[in-house]
């Protein structure tokens, strides 16, 4: 058989398969949006809307605000939000372009996200004082929020938080560029239904309650969050790193830094950077959660309970009840 004909047949097969995959992905995504409407409220922050889930009732305790990881969203906080809502008001939300939130214009740097969160909380009628909990990249956003609005924040929990200089300490990341490229490739695979076909999202969400697990599966099977994550990684190198490094220290603000023992790669570097975060406040504690990974620390109930306990500890210290 003519080799050119073989190449043509193969290319035609690839194009046909890609078209089928993209069509299936589009149909499945529309179905997912019908199955999972926004469980919270959408509030305008100036040209686009952010999705907030406000649970519990106001008490004398500070309102807890939960900030998710780079490409993650509000549903990933399910266990922590459900537990903390029994004793007060707690807010999870989706940054622009993630979850049910609309994409914003301009950069996805940490300072912009912090400012949009502040606007969203005010628009939703959720005023300070706040205890902020940031998981992974969310740790950079809560630090910028505290720097921008220090009078609003009375405590912080960094949940296996990213360090602003993380990628500089991991040369293989090429300043985070390889991770951003990975997100771009993942977004491309999602467009053709490949993530959906192979359930590639499972390692990130194991252990979540059934409803939120299904929401996260549907969300991570779409390209939107992965693309937004890549934008955030690009902004990290060009803007967020300098923003966070220029932020003031936390003084005597109650702070708990939570770390994990199960690191697949770069464990020594990541452990050292976690210990460095403890020095942000004179009133800090560093707790390591044995058996937890970066993801299961919030997605599995047994570990999420330790996150909830850390938030309660900080809230009590902030109100003088410790």
| Residue 21: predicted pLDDT | 53
pLDDT-based confidence at residue 25 (cuts at 50, 70, 90): low
Strands 90-94 and 49-55: antiparallel
Query: Are 112 and 95 within one domain?
Result: yes
| Residue 147: predicted pLDDT | 97
Query: Are 26 and 47 within one domain?
Result: no
Query: Are 57 and 77 within one domain?
Result: yes
Query: Are 192 and 245 within one domain?
Result: yes
Report pLDDT digits (tens) over 90-132: 999 999 999 999 998 888 999 999 999 999 999 999 999 999 9
Strands 130-135 and 284-293: unpaired
Q: How many domains are contained in the chain?
A: 2
Q: Is the pLDDT of residue 207 over 50?
A: yes
What gap in Å lies between CA 40 and CA 18, rounded to an integer? 35
| Residue 216: predicted pLDDT | 94
273: its two tokens: 């950077």
231: its two tokens: 């934008």
Cβ atoms of residues 156 and 253 within 8 Å: yes
Query: Are 10 and 95 within one domain?
Result: no
Query: Are 15 and 157 within one domain?
Result: no
Q: Is the pLDDT of residue 167 over 60?
A: yes
Which neighbouring-strand residues pair with 4?
A: none
Query: Are 21 and 43 within one domain?
Result: no
What gap in Å lies between CA 222 and CA 237, rounded to an integer? 25
121: its two tokens: 């909380």
Q: Which residues contact 262 (CB under 8 A, 6 or more apart)?
A: 291, 292, 293, 294, 296
Q: Is the pLDDT of residue 284 over 50?
A: yes
Query: Are 169 and 51 within one domain?
Result: yes
Q: Is the pLDDT of residue 166 over 50?
A: yes
What is the full DSSP assignment across 111-122? HHHHHHHHHHHH
Query: Are 311 and 272 within one domain?
Result: yes
pLDDT-based confidence at residue 23 (cuts at 50, 70, 90): low
Query: Are 214 and 153 within one domain?
Result: yes
Cβ atoms of residues 93 and 218 within 8 Å: no
Count of CB atoms situated within 10 Å of the CB of 238? 12
Query: Are 22 and 51 within one domain?
Result: no
Q: Is the pLDDT of residue 8 over 50?
A: no
- Provide the CATH number for the domain around residue 46: 3.40.50.1820
Determine the structural domain holding residue 147 and report its residue range: 39-319
Who has greater pLDDT, 238 or 202? 238
Who has greater pLDDT, 197 or 119? 119
Q: Which residues contact 66 (CB under 8 A, 6 or more apart)?
A: 74, 77, 80, 81, 90, 91, 92, 93, 133, 135, 138
Residue located via tokens 């999202």? 201
Query: Are 230 and 309 within one domain?
Result: yes
């Amino acid at each position: 058989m003519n080799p050119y004909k073989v190449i043509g047949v193969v290319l035609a097969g690839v194009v046909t398969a890609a078209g089928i995959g993209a069509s299936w992905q589009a149909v499945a995504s529309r179905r997912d949006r019908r199955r999972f409407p926004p469980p919270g409220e959408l509030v305008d922050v100036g040209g686009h809307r952010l999705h907030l889930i406000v649970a519990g009732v106001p008490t004398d305790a500070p309102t807890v605000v939960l900030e998710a990881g780079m490409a993650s969203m509000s549903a990933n906080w399910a266990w922590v939000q459900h537990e903390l809502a029994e004793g007060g008001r707690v807010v999870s939300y989706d940054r622009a372009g993630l979850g049910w939130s609309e994409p914003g214009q301009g950069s996805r740097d940490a300072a912009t996200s912090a400012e949009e969160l502040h606007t969203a909380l005010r628009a939703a009628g959720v005023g300070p004082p706040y205890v902020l909990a940031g998981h992974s990249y969310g740790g950079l956003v809560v630090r910028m929020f505290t720097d921008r609005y220090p009078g609003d924040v009375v405590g912080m929990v960094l949940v296996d938080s990213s360090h602003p200089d993380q990628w500089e300490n991991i040369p293989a990341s090429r300043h985070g560029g390889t991770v951003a490229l990975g997100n771009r490739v993942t977004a491309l695979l999602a467009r053709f239904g490949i993530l959906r076909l192979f359930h590639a999202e499972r390692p990130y969400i194991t252990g979540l309650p059934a409803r939120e697990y299904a929401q996260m599966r549907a969300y991570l099977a779409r390209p939107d969050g992965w693309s937004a994550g890549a934008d955030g990684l690009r902004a990290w190198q060009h803007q967020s790193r300098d923003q966070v490094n220029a932020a003031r220290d936390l003084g005597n603000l109650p702070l708990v830094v939570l770390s994990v023992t199960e690191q697949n790669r770069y464990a020594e570097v990541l452990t050292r950077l976690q210990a460095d975060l403890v020095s942000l406040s004179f009133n800090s504690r560093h707790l390591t959660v044995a058996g937890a990974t970066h993801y299961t620390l919030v997605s599995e109930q047994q570990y999420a309970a330790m996150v909830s306990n850390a938030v309660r500890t900080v809230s009590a210290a902030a109100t003088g009840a410790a």
